[in-house]
Amino acid sequence: MTRREINQISDLVKREKYVIIPGGLFLQNRKIKVELNLCKYNRNYEKETSKKYKRNKRNKYSDDEY
């Protein structure tokens, strides 16, 4: 990774509440490679609102008659 990529990722983590999760470790040509996953962090109240939104959306489409 270049320094610019590292700075972009660190800015996302600081500003937008993202989380870096290691996805896997690989051995390649005597070097260890790490796969990084960048995930959006949801607080508990955000999880509840997203669950309600998904539930309402699902119920809206299931009530329609074909």
pLDDT (tens place) for every residue of the chain, 66 residues total: 889 988 988 888 888 888 888 999 999 999 999 998 988 876 766 777 888 888 888 887 776 555
44/10 Cα distance (integer angstroms):
23
Q: How many CA atoms lie within 13 A of 33 on its CB side?
A: 7
Give me the phi and psi of 7, to 5 degrees please. -65, -40
Domain ranges (residues) in the chain: 3-63
CA–CA dist 3, 35 (Å, integer): 17
Q: What global pTM score does this model have?
A: 0.49
Burial profile 7-29: b = 16 or more Cβ within 10 angstroms, e = fewer: eeeeeeeeeeebeeeeeeeeeee
